[in-house]
Amino acid sequence: MKKLLKGAKVLDPSQNLDGMRDILVVDGRIAEIKENIEISGAEVIDLSNYIITPGLIDIHAHFREPGYEYKEDIESGSMSAAAGGFTAVACMPNTKPPIDNSALIEYVKFRASQVGKAKVLPIGCVTKGQEGKEITEMGDMARAGAVAFSDDGKPVASSSLMRKAMVYAAMFDKVVIDHCEDPSLFEGGQMNEGRVSTLLGLAGIPAASEEIMVARDILLAKAMKVPIHIAHISTKGSVELIRKAKSEGVRVTCEVTPHHLTLTEEAVIGYDTNAKVNPPLRTQEDVDALLEGLKDGTIDAIATDHAPHHIDEKDLEFDQAAFGLVGLETALGVILTNVVGKNGISLNTGIQKMTIGPAKVLGLEMGTLKVGASADITVIDINREWIVDKDRFFSKGRNTPFHGLKLKGKAVMTIVDGNVTYSEIE
């Protein structure tokens, strides 16, 4: 059970490693990493002209199982993850029934073990049934394998309940991930509130809807001295609030999606429901602020918010269509093509936000190629040019605004615990 990966440039932000190295994998773990390894009895994989990074980690995706398997299931989601270069994916619990107990946590882990294409990390609900009324048995779910807690898709509107949940989760060294949205300001909204929503005659979602809840969560984290993670931030104001909180020592982390880093509300023109997401695509000023937040470390992770829907839920009048897009198979290409190189964002920064950055948010022993670590590895062809074709996705979802887009840079091999789960290399 030995593999020798030879001839690649190794980029590992967790070790400040950037150079030509060979990697020896033994029994699913990194056994050695140095120049010119020579060993007998190993399967040799020539990776000349490729880049090796720690396996990509997505801390915010929706695999829909149990209950919505017609949109996605753990098998199709895991295959989509592997094709996108992801070795681990944390799955949100807004399923049917919601993942709000230890039995469902164990179910997700079991199903993922049957598939084996990527590590699936279940996130448990904050409140029972996602109803925002009663905290779940977080301890039981943590012991069963929940990596975090969230009512994603529904904000925890009650500040009192949110405070208790944050403190309770911290007792088990877990973090609450909050979908920040003031329901009273969001109600009926379809896209960002502004010039384009007025032009299209669509109800708007103001930036304040997000920022009010970001500010609340920061204040709770500060007062209780516990961590909070803000999901998919989208506004300049959110970046500024989190930057200031971090400077004051508040234990707040946050993530941003590839689509919020690269698209604006203009993508909705023509009533394209594939660009209908929550939080909505914002303005160029917001995009610029998110890029700056990525560069200066305010933003800790890039997450896909992979949200597959059946075509019948998207091919509707705009106000009737579901929110969300699929992102696992396009995320790396979009980041390499449209984010790296902008605002001084380096390739190292881009990879850091998709590996060790998300691992640290959830306290995972992942995102590194250190000797002894699990051999979770992504191999990238940085020069591969390709066209996004939604009809070739492994995901059941086809809801992407990037269909037809030419990208440069692609994951061509994914290795999980030393096993190749996806490859485009002969």
Q: Which residue has the tokens 């690269």?
A: 262
Tokens of 313: 């839920």
Q: Distance (Å, rounded) from C-alpha 206 to C-alpha 191?
A: 9
Query: For residue 42, what are the contacts with CB-CB under 8 A and spacing of at least 6?
Result: 2, 3, 4, 24
**100 catalytic, yes or no?**
no
Tokens of 327: 């992102």
Q: How far, in whole angstroms, is CA 235 from its chain's centroid?
A: 18
Q: Which residue has the tokens 């390894």?
A: 37
Q: Distance (Å, rounded) from C-alpha 328 to C-alpha 57?
A: 10
Long-range pairs, 311-317, Cβ under 8 A, ≥24:
311/398, 311/399, 313/71, 314/273, 314/274, 314/399, 315/273, 316/273
Marked catalytic residue, from 305, 312, 381, 417: 305
Q: Distance (Å, rounded) from C-alpha 250 to C-alpha 220?
A: 10
Q: How far, in whole angstroms, is CA 302 from its chain's centroid?
A: 6
Q: Which residue has the tokens 């001084």?
A: 344
Question: Looking at the annotation, which residues are catalytic?
Answer: 305
